[in-house]
């Protein structure tokens, strides 16, 4: 059975070793600025993939890049599978986000239990099946595109996405396990919250002049300026126009609720008066010329502030994207067999993405050309 996956793109803003610089501001205070020194997304992917493959061959549990006993409340992330395409340099990781509590247990709530019913409303789930200890987890799929400086989450009905956890996963791998000639490590023993004695590792990086550095991996949702994307792709896929405006008592609108900016697009004349914030959603089909004309009107005559904005909807979706910028999200459909009916293999997800690569990345390729 095919599953539809929602793709959300993230721009990698920092990746690699960075040196901290203190900058004086106009109000007499200082702020931190991180300057890139070395390393990048490709190196990070290669190093972490090599480490995961090495430690994971003995036990899946070893792919957790920190000590669970020392950090019982930290959400646990493991790596289940990985594939890298030699031609493009892209990589697809399948991570697993553990569901158990900090005490290494999992609770099941009885569906038809009454509100406030304590007796019999919760069942402790057995962590062993047929003598095998289990880690209950949800898969997470992440696509890494170094050439464009992007990563993307692919969220299926059976999976989850947590990008901050993934960037932290890579940082923990680099800090805790990946050798680097600039790295300085100190260790000492300490009692953990569960009473066990654990080894605490402190990591820092220093350059040849003993200046302190830090490894950073940060990403934020990728927003595209509408002027930099493929007009043909948008025109072919826009199914609705969405216009928001604040109608003052001095502005006139028609009986059907269309207002001044929308009228300019539709070439209609105003008649009635009203004083309120309004939103118009109208089905439409556009060609590239019409779309370009709407964008020109938006830029020249419509100031985006507060409620006021102009946007569109793609492929009859419910979510609105705005012409001034929008978060890039796309869909794929994957029709293949899951591993033990639980998750897709990395190579299967990547093959599906690669087959649609041009369509999925067209906006980012257009932006890269203009950079």
pLDDT (tens digit, 9 = 90+) per residue, 157-184?
999 999 999 999 999 999 999 999 999 9
For residue 288, pLDDT over 90 is answered with no
End-to-end alpha carbon distance in the chain: 41
Q: At what angle do helices 41-56 and 163-177 cross, to 10 degrees?
A: 70
pLDDT of residue 182: 93
Predicted confidence (pLDDT) per residue in 116-132, tens digit: 776 667 777 777 777 78
For 191-204, the pLDDT digits (tens) are 877 677 777 888 99
The proportion of the chain whose per-residue pLDDT surpasses 90, expressed as a percent, equals: 39
Mean pLDDT (whole number) for 11-17:
96
Q: What pLDDT score was predicted for residue 370?
A: 44
Residue 34 in this model has a pLDDT that exceeds 80: yes
Contact 153, 10 (CB under 8 A): yes
Could you tell me if 363 and 230 are in contact, meaning their C-beta atoms sit under 8 angstroms apart? yes
The model carries a pTM of: 0.74
How is 28-39 classified by DSSP, letter by letter? S-EEEEEEEEE-
- Range with the lowest mean pLDDT among 7-11, 157-161, 168-172, 358-362? 358-362
| Cβ count within 10 A of residue 134 | 13
The better pLDDT of the pair 123, 66 is held by: 66
Domain ranges for the chain, please list them. 3-222+330-370, 226-326
- Taking only the tens place, the pLDDT of each residue in 296-343 is 776 655 555 677 888 899 888 888 888 776 666 677 888 877 887 888
Q: Rounded to whole angstroms, what are the CA distances from 247 to 241, 262, 320?
A: 18, 12, 21
pLDDT attached to residue 305: 61
């Amino acid at each position: 059975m095919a599953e539809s996956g929602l793709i959300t793109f993230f721009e990698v803003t920092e990746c690699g070793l960075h040196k901290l610089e203190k900058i004086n501001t106009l109000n007499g205070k200082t702020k931190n600025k991180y300057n890139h020194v070395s390393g990048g997304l490709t190196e990070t992917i290669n190093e972490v993939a090599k480490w995961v493959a090495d430690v994971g061959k003995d036990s899946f549990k070893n792919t957790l890049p920190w000590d669970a006993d020392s950090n019982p409340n930290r959400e646990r992330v493991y790596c289940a599978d990985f594939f890298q395409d030699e031609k493009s340099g892209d990589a697809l990781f399948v991570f697993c986000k553990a569901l158990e509590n900090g005490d290494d247990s999992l609770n099941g709530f009885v569906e038809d239990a009454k509100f406030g019913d304590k007796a019999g409303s919760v069942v402790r789930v057995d962590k062993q099946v047929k003598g095998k200890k289990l880690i209950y987890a949800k898969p997470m799929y992440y696509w890494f595109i170094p050439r464009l400086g992007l990563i993307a989450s692919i969220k299926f009905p059976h999976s989850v996405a947590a990008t901050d956890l993934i960037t932290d996963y890579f940082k923990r791998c680099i800090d805790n396990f990946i050798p680097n000639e600039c790295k300085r490590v100190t260790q000492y023993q300490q009692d953990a919250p569960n009473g066990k004695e654990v080894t605490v590792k402190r990591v820092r990086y220093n350059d040849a002049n003993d200046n302190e550095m830090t490894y950073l991996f940060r990403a934020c949702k990728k927003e595209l300026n509408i002027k930099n994307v493929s007009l043909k792709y948008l025109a072919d896929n826009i199914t609705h126009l969405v216009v928001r405006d604040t109608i003052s008592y001095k502005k006139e609108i028609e009986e059907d609720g269309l207002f001044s900016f929308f009228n300019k697009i539709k070439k209609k004349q105003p008649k009635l008066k009203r004083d309120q914030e309004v939103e118009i959603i109208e089905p439409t089909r556009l060609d590239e010329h019409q779309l370009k004309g709407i964008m020109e009107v938006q830029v020249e005559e419509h100031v985006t502030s507060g409620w006021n904005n102009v946007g569109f909807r793609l492929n009859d979706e419910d979510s609105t994207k705005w012409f001034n910028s929008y978060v890039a999200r796309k869909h794929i459909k994957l029709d293949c067999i899951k591993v033990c009916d639980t998750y897709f293999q990395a190579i299967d997800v990547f093959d599906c993405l690669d087959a649609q690569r041009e369509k999925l990345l067209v906006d980012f390729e257009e932006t890269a050309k203009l950079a």
